[in-house]
Structure 1
Amino acid sequence: MSNEQSVMVYIQQDSGKLAEVSLELVSKARDLADKLGVGVSAALFGEKVSQEVPLLASLGTDTVYLYEEPKLKHYTPVPYTKLMTQVIADYKPQIVLYGATTTGRDLAPRVASYLKVGLTADCTDLQIGDHSQGGTEYKNILYQIRPAFGGNIIATIVCPEKKPQMSTVREGVMRMNTPDSNRKANIVKVPGADLDFPSEIIDRVLEEKTVNLKGANIIVSGGFGVGTKENFRLIRELAETIGAEVGASRAAVDAGFVAKDHQVGQTGTTVRPKLYIACGISGAIQHRAGMDGSARIIAINTDPEAPIFSIAQYGIVGDLFEVIPRMIKAYKARV
């Protein structure tokens, strides 16, 4: 496949460790590229990162544009922006994807400004389709789908007139392909760039996340129906009893019941646990979009018409303050 017109992914790394969102985006890029009949490319910069090429290949990458330099061990804006704009200018991808991380949200706008192209931030879905505008028909362009107006609507955005079409994509919303070790990728070493390093990292302070919703096998989430911050302790108690992470709807977070790190949904974290227990959550579309990929869903709500029941395998119509204590007691009796 030609390197030009590819679907390109910026591969975020730190100290040689690839960001999981970049691997998710390679998998999505493979899907988009197959629909377009083009290849998947990856832009990989860092110190001693060539060892990660087989992983990128196994997920669907055809070509890796590689630049290795010890000073690129950690992200700094100026040299990374110059390298990324150079790679895009030289190899002309039609789509470029970045993770919507602090790094991606810093780099992508810089590149878009330099190239004078559009950029859609915080996408939750990407599709290929056609678009008509001003009497002109655009074929096979990127539909960039994201929540808008505080998550109250889902907007589809297109940037048809200039290439590349660029998006940042939220972590966890794209499924990662099963690696295929038989796949190989062509390595293209990016020609030496005259890089500037006007800033230097003197020290780094890293803080481990206390909430890992993406990696949880079981999540117990509370919604506005929990009532108060004090009542939310019941959600925590159930989660602790069954070895689950604590999640929450946006309404519960906005009400101050729990920190935003626990928020599940389009404006929070997208999760796919083996078991998701929704307590006092009505099931607005924004919340369902962030958890409807769960293998099993149990919903507890006093309203039998609550939308959450439409996607739950098991529904309990009842007061969560009566149901949850019984669940805890039943679980403890079995163990």
Structure 2
Amino acid sequence: MTVLVLADHDNKALGAATLNAVTAATELGGDVHVLVAGNGCAAVADEAAKVAGVAKVLLAEDAMYADALAENMAALIVSLADSYDVILAAATTSGKNILPRVAALLDVAQISEIVEVVSPDTFVRPIYAGNAMATVQSSDAKKVITVRSTNFAAAAATGGSASVEAASAAADTGLSTFVGAELSKSERPELTSAKIVISGGRGMQSGDNFHLLEKVADKLGAAVGASRAAVDAGFVPNDYQVGQTGKVVAPQLYIAVGISGAIQHLAGMKDSKVIVAINKDEEAPIFQVADYGLVADLFKALPELDEALG
């Protein structure tokens, strides 16, 4: 069996989720190859070659891959698919965008967000917003899989000595064009890789009140997240959202402030090692999953926490 892992990167550095995807790939058995597609990304390929467990890195450099447009990326992967039994990627924004197109072009079923490899053809994945786990078996000749990175340990970033080979670019599909990107910049850790996350919900009442969370986050070295209710209310941008339709996180510490604990939100954070909830409603569902709960007015509790942290 040979597995192709799609690397997540920004043309400068390998995305952390790729290391988790490599671990899942090694559990399938056989050789693990990593595809690095981009423009001016040779350094990323060299970085991928050092990852433990990787046997080969394929480097596809072309201007059409600079922005990882899903249509062109899918065409590239399909052009390489004959050599692979499994095509796998982390369930990041990029992976979720590209791999369903690959599965459709190959006419196979995608197996989404696996959390465990049982055997080369059997996997465990969450259903019903993570309230149940389904064990699924695939008879497809080629398997297309996305991996929930928080459920797999990261492969060692060093220790490997894979070869780097050039891969030919596929024809431009002409189906999409990159227009521009509006990226938010922050000195805080990336939400999906932070060891501490503090999130606010509808109880924050306004976007301006998120500065209370940000002050605490800066002292803890934490990332700031939000519930879907807070995002839908316009308090914070979409990239803050933690939940089934947002980002899935599993930090060492998750602090939920003014979040009631809807199933949609719990699906994105209940694997956190320690969960702390602050809510003035003692009947809030969030307290059922919290390790520590504080029934208090967040507008009093957050300034007190900020002061206590110095």
Structure 2 length as normaliser, TM-score?
A: 0.75
Contact 2:24–2:147 (CA under 8 A) maintained in structure 1? no
Q: Does residue 45 of structure 1 match 2:37?
A: yes
User: Aligned match of 2:214 in 215, 235, 239?
Assistant: 239
Equivalent positions of 1:92-103 (< 5 A) are: 92-93=84-85, 95-101=86-92, 103=94
2:121 aligns with 141
How far residue 160 of structure 1 moved from its aligned partner, in angstroms, is 1.5
**Is the CA contact (8 Å cut-off) linking 2:110 and 2:144 kept in structure 1?**
yes
Distance in 1, Cα, partners of 2:54 & 2:196: 36
> Is contact 2:262-2:286 (8 Å) kept?
yes
In structure 1, how many angstroms separate the alpha carbons of the residues matched to 2:237 and 2:70? 30
1:118 Cα shift?
1.0
Which residue pairs with 1:112 in the alignment? 103
**CA positional deviation for 1:109:** 3.2
**Which residue of structure 2 lines up, in the alignment, with residue 126 of structure 1?**
115
CA RMSD, aligned part only?
Answer: 3.8
- 1:182 and 2:171 equivalent? no
Instruction: Work out whether residues 35 and 60 of structure 2, in 8 Å CA contact, stay in contact via their aligned partners in 1.
Output: no
Conserved in 2, the CA contact under 8 Å of 1:147 and 1:153? yes
- From 322, 327, 331, the equivalent of 2:305 is 327
What amino acid is the match of 2:115? L
User: 1:264 Cα shift?
Assistant: 1.6
1:60 and 2:49 matched:
no
C-alpha distance 315-101 of structure 1, shift in aligned 2 (>3 A) = closer
The letter for the 2-side match of 1:220 is: I
Q: Does 1:83 align with 2:76?
A: yes
Amino acid at match of 1:291: M
Counterpart position of 2:14: 18
Q: Deviation digits for residues 245-289 of structure 1, max 9, x if unmatched?
A: 432223444455544332222332223445432223344554344
Shift of 1:303: 4.8
Q: Is the 8 A contact 1:144 1:167 kept in 2?
A: no
The answer on whether the counterparts of 2:48 and 2:57 sit within 8 Å (CA) in structure 1 is no
Q: Which amino acid aligns with 2:58?
A: L
Distance 1:145 1:104, change over 3 A: same
TM-score under structure 1 normalisation? 0.71
Is 2:265 aligned against 1:287? yes
Equivalent in the alignment of 1:261:
239
Residue pair 1:142, 1:165 contacting (<8 A) in 2 also? no
1:264 and 1:45 mapped to 2: Cα distance?
28
Tell me by how many angstroms 1:316 deviates: 1.7
Which consecutive unaligned segments of at least 5 residues does structure 1 have? 130-138
Distance verdict in 2 for CA 1:92–1:113, change over 3 Å = same
Offset of residue 294 of structure 1: 4.3
Give the letter aligned to residue 104 of structure 1.
G
Does the C-alpha gap of structure 1 residues 108 and 236 become closer, same or farther in structure 2, counting only changes over 3 Å? same
- Identity %, equivalent residues: 32
Larger CA Rg, structure 1 vs 2: 1
Distance change (3 Å), C-alpha of 1:266 and 1:284:
same
Q: C-alpha separation between the residues in 2 aligned to 1:177 and 1:216?
A: 14
Distance 1:119 1:305, change over 3 A: same
Partner of 2:205: 229
Change (3 A) 1:72 1:63: farther
Is the Cα contact below 8 Å between 2:11 and 2:44 reproduced in 1? no
> d(CA) in 2 for partners of 1:20 and 1:60?
14
Alpha-carbon offset, residue 292 of structure 1: 4.1
- Is there any run of 5+ residues in structure 2 with no aligned partner, and where? none
Q: Distance in 2 between matches of 1:206 and 1:6?
A: 35
CA 1:204–1:84 in structure 2 vs 1: closer, same or farther (change >3 Å)? same
Amino acid of the residue matched to residue 102 of structure 2?
V
Q: Deviations over 1:125-154 (max 9, x none)?
A: 33233xxxxxxxxx6424262455xx4855
1:67 to 1:275, Cα distance in 2 relative to 1, 3 A: closer
